[in-house]
Amino acid sequence: MPDQIPANSIEITVPATSGNVGPGFDCLGVALTLYNSFRFTLADELLISAEGVGAERIAQNKQNLVYQSFQRCWQYLGRDKINLAIHITMQVPPSRGLGSSATAIAGGVYAANVFAGEPLSAKELVAIATEIEGHPDNVAPALLGGCRLIAGSEICEIPWHDSIGIAIAIPEFELSTAKARQVLPSQISMADAVFNCAHLGLLTQALATGNREWLIEALQDKLHQPYRTPLIPALATVRQTAMQAGAYGLVISGAGPTLLAIAPAQLTTSVAQAMRQAWLAEGINSQWQTLSIDRQGTRSLRV
């Protein structure tokens, strides 16, 4: 109803995410302390603007994913059409495996829910966002924060021990999710399925306890990373270097090409720098960052 729409703009902040975390293909993801922000204002016509990392690539028409996600949720709620001015501030680089598209989807559906007076539960928002994205491992932690395991309609928070830190290296080159999915097999062996079931189960316990030996073993995977490794130059070298610097393990963040190392919190800076140097020695420039777990997820501010 019109009287439920806030008179002023709302600003939505959404964290980056890393999907899969090794063996949790399409069902496990974690929210990170890197953000995209979206300001929504009622307007006479659709206006979209953007600034920040990759802003020049943002569609400024009805093809914009933030706008489309808002409209999908708005229509789900059965509301009359409204026009918006949307301003996007980007810190999450697109096509790097850090959930940039998930921030757009989460920001759009969350904003629609706020404008409508917040009739939808968090679980309902995740369901709508998952329908748009196609898989839940990014949108669930983007909306809810923390580390999330999704099984069917159930969303389980996985405790993340305070001693466990994250280091990432973001290369200059991009890797589309579509290309990263094209290389995956349509069938796997029973042995590989059992391997991943066991390692995902172990990973949930390793993250909760910070157990070093469990983490080293649990981060292995046979569902997607072996097939995507050839798409990311020098991945094996970067992994070996990260481990030598003290990491428990290194995984492809989402579909890649960003690489994410899980390490003792006090070693994340040295691990991140080692990852960058390893790639640089192979002629690949990258940016490194140390990140923490965002435990709040998507949030709004009326301005």
- Segment 32-43, tens digit of pLDDT: 999 999 999 999
Nearest-angstrom CA–CA distance, 217 and 197? 13
- 2-158+293-302, which class in CATH? alpha beta
- Fold assignment, 164-291: Alpha-Beta Plaits (3.30.70)
Question: Which residue type sits at 183?
Answer: V
Give 19's pLDDT tier (boundaries 50, 70, 90): very high
- Residues above pLDDT 70, as percent of the chain: 97
- Of 12, 174, 32, which Cα lies nearest the Cα of 99? 32
Nearest-angstrom CA–CA distance, 57 and 59? 6
Whether residue 234 is predicted with pLDDT greater than 70 in this model: the reply is yes
Helix (H, G, I), strand (E, B) or coil at 264: strand
Give 236's pLDDT tier (boundaries 50, 70, 90): very high
pLDDT digits (tens, 9 = 90+) for 62-120: 999 999 999 999 999 999 888 899 999 999 999 899 999 999 999 999 999 999 999 99
Q: Which helix (H) or strand (E) holds 69?
A: helix 65-76
Place of tokens 């019109």: 2
pLDDT at 3: 40
Please tell me the number of Cα atoms within 13 Å of 162 on its side-chain side.
0
Whether residue 297 is predicted with pLDDT greater than 70 in this model: the reply is yes
Nearest-angstrom CA–CA distance, 222 and 226? 6
Whether residue 195 is predicted with pLDDT greater than 90 in this model: the reply is yes
**Per-domain boundaries in the chain:** 2-158+293-302, 164-291
pLDDT at 176: 83
Q: Which helix (H) or strand (E) holds 302?
A: strand 299-302
- Of 273, 215, 218, 219, which Cα lies nearest the Cα of 245? 273
Query: What's phi and psi for 293, nearest 5 deg?
Result: -85, 125
Buried-state track 97-117, b at ≥16 Cβ within 10 A, e below 16:
bbbbbbbbbbbbbbbbbbbbe
Nearest-angstrom CA–CA distance, 241 and 24? 23
pLDDT digits (tens, 9 = 90+) for 199-224: 999 999 999 999 999 999 999 999 99
pLDDT digits (tens, 9 = 90+) for 124-145: 999 999 999 999 999 999 999 9
